[in-house]
Each structure stands twice: as structure tokens, then as C-alpha cells.
A and B are shown apart, each in its own frame.
Chain A
């Protein structure tokens, strides 16, 4: 592949990327979120057409027009989110997409059975997919692709749903396939696995090539030094911003307007947003009492896969707790659990000493937990509704927006205006449909919405995605301001810069567990990056 570029609207996912695949090699493609790995893979798999660039197979330039086309050319893809039809059997899934009017399951059966045996699966080919465990399903995916005679095998984050034992089996399997001459492409962010098994490594960063290591390097050099090089190429050069908010002198900080007014009259906002409910009188504790306590939390993700595994965490007032990690390691689910959006299968959630486990969103909001989602359009807002309506979504039953039955549209509108002004949102007016705004402005509004409720604990999932620099800084400063005023902010982000800039503590999520928890003064990008990729577990520091 040469010079492959692909953009989706304003987002450039791939920017002139090149990739060479050799038969009989395991080639790992490493990169963080947003590095462009999945898009590149989808181009090769025929799901997307590149905007520019060429693809050559055995020297001949080709156009891969569809998944069917890719398969025919011998490119088989195992997607991250499985493409097996759950209600069909293994055999049926394998022959799906093939020609002929009547399917001759008989002929295929023999081959599939032997493949199953090869892969160490002692199950009948007539078993339905939904009865299989994830590790087994993955093997079936690979079988499916091999059955069609693929010579190139693309695997997108294959180990994200596997147990350690299954991971080892998979890697063995990949080695065997490689020895049979198949070109295996392993797309992953897990450095350890990539190192264990690859012959060649390509690193992508922000949509571009960022480096590569050939077989000579991989086989020869010392493992640790290879690892260092890779981490450096993936994360190196990202220095924390010059003005670190934590240590900057007060007068240099740009204080967001709403913060200003708050400082001038600390009661103004409280009056404006007076709540009718009897809150648990928040014992204004000494800062060292834990505001939020998670004990042994386990939960399932959207696809029924375990997302959090016996996780425990304590958060104190007045701090920003940053959570780093590559997507899919449980950080989103962690945020959702804290905010009451996701039920837990075991464990306890305590807020201000009160057990709020599984009590739901409405309760959490009432108690003072805010949540800014990263899914701004599907979850966070209603695209066709106005700014006014969207901003009132979570607190519509409370004053001043309503008296419980009647809406006070004037108050709603005023509120929206205030937020638009204070957060500098670019919109013609509060009646504008939120879908018309740019992503950044929508994000600002969602943040504003939560902040206006004066939450004691605010969870933000990737709040600066898609924001320009100025707006991003604004957001970060608002969050920092919240913490300085005694609130707790949980910041989930894949941008190490911002995490390090405003957090007091940084944790790293990997595989559903908090593998590190350190004061930000001790953190540096490369160490964090290493942990994010599954590196050595540091000892957890429990806050004094």
C-alpha cells in the first residue's frame, strides 16, 4: 500500500500511509486511538475506498471494491467486533458468501472439521455461534477466512476480548500460520504481544507513518531496547505544555468567565440553580475524606464482555483524577459506572459515604454527580432539538426549569443564553438546533450543562475531542477550576498531554483494571505510554 489517504468529512484518518506486507511474516501495526490503524485495515479489507493512494498485490495495481472483492483476492479480515452471525452454525458462517444455489454443507463439512481440529477446537461444526466463548469465536473467524483461501490475514485488536491463556494460544496459532506462508497483519496497541510474536512492526501516529522496524531489528536486538524505541516513536516528542497549570502563578491563568463570577459572588450560582430537593447535607468534610469510593467493581461492557474486573478506587475532594488508556480497556465503562449510567455486576459504589450502587442516573444526578459523555450525538444530545432543550435535558424536572409540571421556558432560555455567553459557544441563539453546531461547540455545551448543575463530582469522557486548541484549553481550565473549588473531576482521556497538565493523580486503565495510580508529578509520557500498552505494573500508591 502506498500513499493511502482517507478522510471522513473534516477528519483525516489516513494521511499518505504506506505499508508493505511480505508472505510468511507477522507484521504488527501499532498505534494509539485515532492513529488510523482500523481505517487502514478497512481500506485493505474493501470496506472503504481510499481517497488516494495505490494498492498493489504481487506487483499488480488493484482496486479493492468490496469485502467480497477483498476475499476473492485472498485478503481475509478478522474484525474487532466479530462478524459472525450468532444464530447460524459454524459451518454456515464459514460458507456464507460463497457461490452456488444449494449449499453443499457436506463438502465443506470435512474441511471445516479438520480446520477445527487444527485449531484445537473440539466442537461440532454444527454448533451455533452464540453458544461459543469469545476465544472460540475468534478462532472460527480465522477459520472462516482461511477456508476462503486467504493468503493475507488481517486481525484488528484480536486479543482485546481474550483471557491470557487464550492470548497465548492465539499467538501460537499465528506463528503456525506464518510458517505456512501466510502474511499475518496484527493491528494492536498491546506492545507486549506485538513484541512477542512479530517479525516486523509499523507504527502509526495521528494518521501517518511514524516509524517501522524490520525483521533484522526485531529478531536481533535486545527486547527491552526494541520496546523503548517503539514507545518513543509512539509517544515521544509530546512534551507537556509549557505552562503547566499546576505550577503556574495565579495571575497568568486565564480564568473562565463563569469562574470569575463565581469567585466574585460564590452564592450567585447556588441561588440561581437552587435545587428543591433535600440533598444529603454534604458534610463539608476535610479534603482528605473520600468523596467517591469504588470497591471491587466488576461490570460488563456493551457486548456482554467483561469490562471492569474487581476495580477499586478512592477519590478525594479537590482533585483531578486523570485516567489514561487506549480505548477499550474499560475506562469508558468506569466513567459510566461512577455516573450511574451502567450497572455493576458486583462491587459497591459509595458517594459521600452513601451506597449508590446501581441506583441509576437520575439518583446520581440528584446527588451531585455529573457526566460528560464522549458520544455527544447519540447519547449526550438530541440532534434535532434546540440548545435550550438540550441543556435542560438532565434537570428538566427541577427548578428553575420547571416546577415539576409546567416548564418555565423563559428560565430555560435565559439559562441557555448564559451558558452560550459564558462558554463562548458559537451559535446564533439558544433556539438553534444543536445539530447545527460544530462538534467543539456541542462539546462545550455538554460540559456547560453539567457544570451548571454544580456537581460535586464530574466525570468527563474525552471532553476535548474535536476541539480546537483554544477551546480545549478553556475546557481544561474549567475542569481545573472545578477541582480548585473543592470538587472532584475524573478526566478520561487518551491525550497524555492534557492529563498530565491538569491532573493531580493519574491512573492507567488496561484490560479492565487500574494498573497504575500515581501523583502526576511522577508521571511522564513514556512511562504512561508503556503502561497503556500493557507494560510493567507499578505499585499502586494509595493516597494518604
Chain B
């Protein structure tokens, strides 16, 4: 059975796979951002952190020929920016939106500069091997199996992290303190929680995840780096965090839907269906706004989001 000259099964499999791959970095970044926002930090620097993760991950992988080093470098880059962000917003109590934008601008410029400077006009691609990891048995399921369970290793990490984060938020002491700090920092402080330390850790987690997401993009998925390659994915992850109501599972759902909508565009092109690609590309963004509007009354924003905390003042 074919459609537009392409076997139906293969088509759907490819679409699903592409959609999930598109969703993976979003999930990672959004999970991290959720932790950050839960503690009351709005991180607009996520885009810059992702870019840095992408670049430094790419570069490290390029130099060492190892994907692992690449990923670690990406995480490290995000981590470093996260430290800067935390220092400025928690210790110096500077406005978070300003700092976030500054970091994004800086990250963009830095990565673009370094890339052009190091590689000149060339556009090398990574020749490292990131083999597909087929989960036995499960990958035999038609369509679904091949799409979901026959992916690269790093891909699985994104989805494994979902329950990990869920656990972190609900079951650990840190998660509890996190939620308290973002909602009612005075109460947390009065109960003996170290508000500053909690926020620092949250910021570092958020930024490390953003770095990881970027590294995934350049090292595992596309195997190249381009200037500004994240194309707003960081901000989308931010939006997905909100749409998902800071809940890891809902974030996963939102990201997957988003990714699928994205790959739908490509899919339709393959089929030769003449729908304006821009229209399809546009849909996810509009979808986010619609989702936010619908959820407007019902989501409970961490009450202290965006507000620096000083002891003695409620």
C-alpha cells in the first residue's frame, strides 16, 4: 500500500520517528526549565545555553571523535552559563528577564564567532558513530516499534529523564524544597530551607539540561553545527514548560505533539501534498499560544516566578 508513491508503513514510521527526534531536545530543555521555573527563576537565557551546548558539544566531539565527550562538553557549557545566570539573579538579584536575554545574545554571538573563527568557511560534519540502539522485541512492533525503539542512544535518554525528573520533583527533599521556594519563598525560609542554595541548584539543572539538549542536536542528531541552529527552540521549550504546566509527563506530551506537528510539514512535502509548508510550520507556534490561552485560568504559575527574594521582606 502506498501513498504518493511511498509505502504507507514506511511513511508513518518515518514521520513518527522524525517527530520524536524533534521532540527529544525540547523535552530535555523543557524539563530543566521546569525545574528552574518551579524554583521561581524565569530563564530566558535558555536559547543561548542551548546554542552553547550545541557548539561546544560539536567542537568537543569533533576534536575527540567521541560522542560522549561531546555531550559532556555541551552539558558543561550550559552549566557554566547557568552559574553566571544564578549568580546574577540570585546573589545579585538583578532582573531575570534582562539577564536571560543578555545571556542569549551573548551565547549566540559567542558560538557564531567561535565557529566561524575555528572552522573558517568550512562546514565540517561529525563522522562519529552514534549507532542505533534497537530495543529487542519492542522494536519489532510495526511502525511504532521501529520509530520509537530503534533510535540512537542519546534519544532514549531524553525520555528516560522524564520519570527521573518526575521523581525528583515529587519524591525528593530537594524537589519539595524547590516547589516551596518557587511558590512561597518566605514560608520556605521560615521553615528552614536555604532559598538561595535551592535556586542555584535549580538554575544549574536548568542550564545543564539546556546544554544537553543543544549537544543532542549537534552531536547526535544533525552532526553539524550552524550559526543560530537552535532557531528559537530554547524559547519553544520555555513555552512548552508552561503549556505542560511544569509537569514532566505533560511536558513530554506537549513536546511530542509539537515535534509531530513539525515533522508533519516535512511529511506532507514528501507526499507532494500541496499545502503551504509555512502554514504547517506555523501551526505549532500558534498551537502553543492557543494552549496557553485555554489553560490561562487553570495553570498555577509558581507564585514567586521572576521575583528575587530577600529575607525579611515578604
Q: How many residues of A contact B (CB 8 A)?
A: 30
User: Is B192 a contact of A103 with CB atoms below 8 Å?
Assistant: no
Q: Which residues of B approach A to under 8 Å, CB–CB?
A: 171-174, 176-177, 179-180, 183-184, 186-194, 300, 311-312, 314
A437 interface contact, C-beta 8 A: no
Instruction: State whether A85 touches B171 (Cβ < 8 A).
Output: no
Residues of chain A contacted by B193 (CB below 8 angstroms) = 68, 96-97
The answer to whether A83 touches B172, judged by C-beta atoms less than 8 angstroms apart, is no
A213 close to chain B: CB less than 8 A: no
Contact (A47, B312) CB under 8 Å given A82-B187, A85-B188, A97-B193: yes
Cβ of A9 within 8 Å of any chain B Cβ, yes or no, is no
Q: Are A101 and B192 in contact (CB under 8 A)?
A: no
Per the bound structure, the CA–CA distance linking A84 and B190 in Å amounts to 9
Given A67-B192, A102-B171, also A83-B179 (CB < 8 A): no
Q: Does A87 contact B (CB under 8 A)?
A: yes
Chain B residues near A103 (CB, 8 Å)?
171-173, 176
Q: Is the CB of B191 within 8 A of A67?
A: yes
A99: interface (CB < 8 Å): yes
Interface centre among B172, B173, B174, B188 (most CB of A within 10 A): B173
- Nearest opposing residue in chain B for A148, CB measure: B192
Residues of A within 8 A of B (CB): 45, 47-48, 66-68, 71-72, 77, 79, 81-88, 92-93, 95-103, 144
Q: Tell whether, in the assembled complex, residue B184 and residue A85 are in contact, meaning their CB atoms are under 8 Å apart.
A: yes
Bound: A66/B190 CA distance, A: 8
Query: Which residues of A sit under 8 angstroms from B183, Cβ to Cβ?
Result: 85-88
B187 to A92, Cβ gap below 8 A?
no
Complex: how many Å from CA A96 to CA B184? 12
* From B177, B184, B188, B192, residue with most partner A Cβ within 10 Å: B192
Instruction: Contact check, A67 vs B190: say whether CB atoms are below 8 A apart.
Output: yes
**Who on chain A is nearest to B302 by CB?**
A87
Contact of B176 among A45, A77, A81, A92 (CB under 8 A): A92
CB distance from B95 to the nearest CB of A (A): 15
Chain A residues with Cβ below 8 Å from B300 are 87
A contact residues around B179 at 8 Å (CB): 85, 87-88, 92
For A68, the chain B residues whose CB sits under 8 A away are 192-194
B188: chain A residues at CB < 8 Å are 85, 96-97
- Residues of B with C-beta under 8 A to A45: 190
Residues of chain B with a CB closer than 8 A to A47's CB:
190, 311-312
Residues on A with C-beta less than 8 A from B171 are: 102-103
A-B contact pairs, 21 of them (CB 8 A): A45-B190, A66-B192, A67-B191, A68-B193, A68-B194, A77-B190, A79-B190, A82-B187, A83-B186, A83-B191, A85-B180, A85-B184, A88-B176, A93-B180, A95-B173, A96-B180, A97-B188, A97-B192, A97-B193, A103-B171, A103-B173
Contact B173 A101 (CB under 8 A): yes
A200–B61 alpha-carbon span in the complex (Å): 73
Instruction: Take A47-B311, A83-B187 as given contacts and tell me if A95 and B176 are in contact as well, using a CB distance cutoff of 8 Å.
Output: yes
**Given A88-B183, A97-B191, 15 extra CB contacts under 8 A:** A45-B190, A67-B189, A67-B190, A68-B192, A81-B314, A83-B191, A85-B179, A85-B188, A87-B183, A95-B176, A96-B188, A96-B191, A97-B188, A99-B173, A101-B174
